[in-house]
Every structure is written in C-alpha cells, then in structure tokens.
Amino acid sequence: MTVQDGAKQAQGYVFNPTWDLETERLITNEAIWDPGTIERFERLGVDRGWACLEVGAGAGGAAEWLLERVGSTGRVVAADLEVGRLDRLAERGVEVLRNDLRTEELPAESFDLVHARMLIQHLQDREAAVARLIRALRPGGWLFVEDTDSLPLFRSYRSERFLTDIKEAGYGLMRQAGHEPRGGHFDLEIALNSELTEVSAEGRVVMVHGGSEQARHYQLWLEFMRPKIVAAGLLSDARIDEAIAEMGDPANRWLSQVLISTFGRKPPATDTGGNR
C-alpha cells in the first residue's frame, strides 16, 4: 500500500494506517486494553469451537487470543482496512479480511462473537456500522463493542491541570476529524435501540505509569497529533516536547480514558415447530 492509498483509506478516521509508528501505536494500545478485553471474552464464555470476528483488528492482539481459545474446531476472522500487520496470524490460521465497515458488509449470520474496539466512535454513521456487526452474528451470538469516554484522561494526583492543555488540543482536533469522545455512550444507546437482547454496559480505566509501555502509547498519540496541533496554532513544539518528557517520567501517573464495554445478544432463532 502506498502512502497516498493509506491517506485515502484514512479519510474520516483520525489515524493514518501507513504512519511510520502506527504499528507501535497499535501494540501499545493493546498493552493498555487487551487484559480487560480478554477478561470480558472469558466472562462471555468464549470457548472451543466458537466462530469469532474481530473488526478493526489492528495489530492482532485480541484475534490472537481468540485463536488460542477457540482451538482447531473454531474459527477466527480478523477484519481491518489495513491487513498487512495480520500476516503473522494468517500463517497460524486466522482468516484475514480486508473490510471497510463504513460501506462493506460482513459475512452474514456467521459468528458466535463479534467484537470491535475503539472503532465505532471514529465512524460518521455509527448506527449503520453497528447494524452491519449485528447482521454478522448468528442467532444467539454476542455483540461486544468497546469505545471510550475521554473525560478522565490525564487526571493525576500531581496537578488538576496535568496535561489538560495537551488533551484539549489533541481531542479538539480529533473531534473535528470525526472522532466522538463519548463514543461508548453512543454504543449503548444504539444497542438498546436495536434487536439485541440482554444489553448491558460497563466502564473501566487504567492507571498509567510514566515511562511504561502503556505511557508510550500516549507519547505516540501526541507525536502523531503534533503537526496538526502546531499547524493549528494550539501549542508549540516546545510544549509538546515537554509533555512527551512528562509522559516518560516514572514519577507521573494518570488515568486513561474510560473504555465502555457494551454487550448484547442476537435473539435465538424461533423454532417454527412451536418449541424453543
């Protein structure tokens, strides 16, 4: 894929899949969120023989765990706009699918679990995207979507103003690019207004320690946003350098966003013989 192709793909999406540091950004994002996602996979009962779809698979951490869990009798499909990062999983048996959820359908009624994390909140037509995910579920299958609420991000004991200028500048521009900072709340509303049953939602946060792999994710986020922030005249390069140093300091600790997990189950097929 060329840089021009990547830029075209990324229209309506904050991040550029061809950015030099994008793979590292995705891997460090998984370091923050994969443990909690996996815990919720286990609670849903994901087991051997399940057919699972991971949409917006990124660097493939969640899909890799699912592959191990469902075993040789199961099936895992990893879908994304840019699938080159998933080659290592394809070699192990994951089915890799290039998909643009904004416009393209997924295999219909094929999966016991459909999962998407930090994807829906980037899309303009969230209702249509969730409807596509629901159509991919088998009757009785689980939809599990995760998006954030950015309100607590960078909250710290050091100061009530810790990195707030960074957050305001970066997230302000992200919102202009189509990112919804309250995305997890919208996921729940969409699920409640859909055909899904057993709908519920919960949130989790992570305490990030400066200098950690998790902190590196926020440094990479800021490096990606730097040219946009500076070009908009919101902050200087010097301030951004200072903030990146603060994120790398082990003396600093801060809250992540709230990641809101929404669950819902597709109604089981009705037995036309009158029995359930």
DSSP letter, residue 95: E
Decide if pLDDT at 13 tops 80. Answer: no
Structure-token match 């305490």, residue found:
207
Residues 270 and 276: their CA atoms lie apart, in Å, by: 7
pLDDT tens-digit readout, 163-210 = 999 999 999 999 999 999 999 999 999 999 999 999 999 999 999 999
Cβ burial of 248 (10 Å; 0-12, 13-18, 19+) is: middle
Non-local CB neighbours of 96 within 8 Å, separated by 6+ positions: 77, 78, 79, 83, 86, 87, 89, 90
pLDDT at 12: 56
**Average pLDDT of every residue of the chain:** 93
Domains annotated on the chain, with CATH:
3-265 (3.40.50.150)
pLDDT tens-digit readout, 58-106 = 999 999 999 999 999 999 999 999 999 999 999 999 999 999 999 999 9
Structure-token match 């040219």, residue found:
227
Grade residue 269 by pLDDT with cuts at 50, 70 and 90.
confident
Decide if pLDDT at 275 tops 90. Answer: no
pLDDT tens-digit readout, 93-110 = 999 999 999 999 999 999
Decide if pLDDT at 273 tops 80. Answer: no
Residue closest to 254 by CA, chosen among 160, 118, 123: 160
Grade residue 271 by pLDDT with cuts at 50, 70 and 90.
low
- Say what percent of the chain tops pLDDT 90: 90
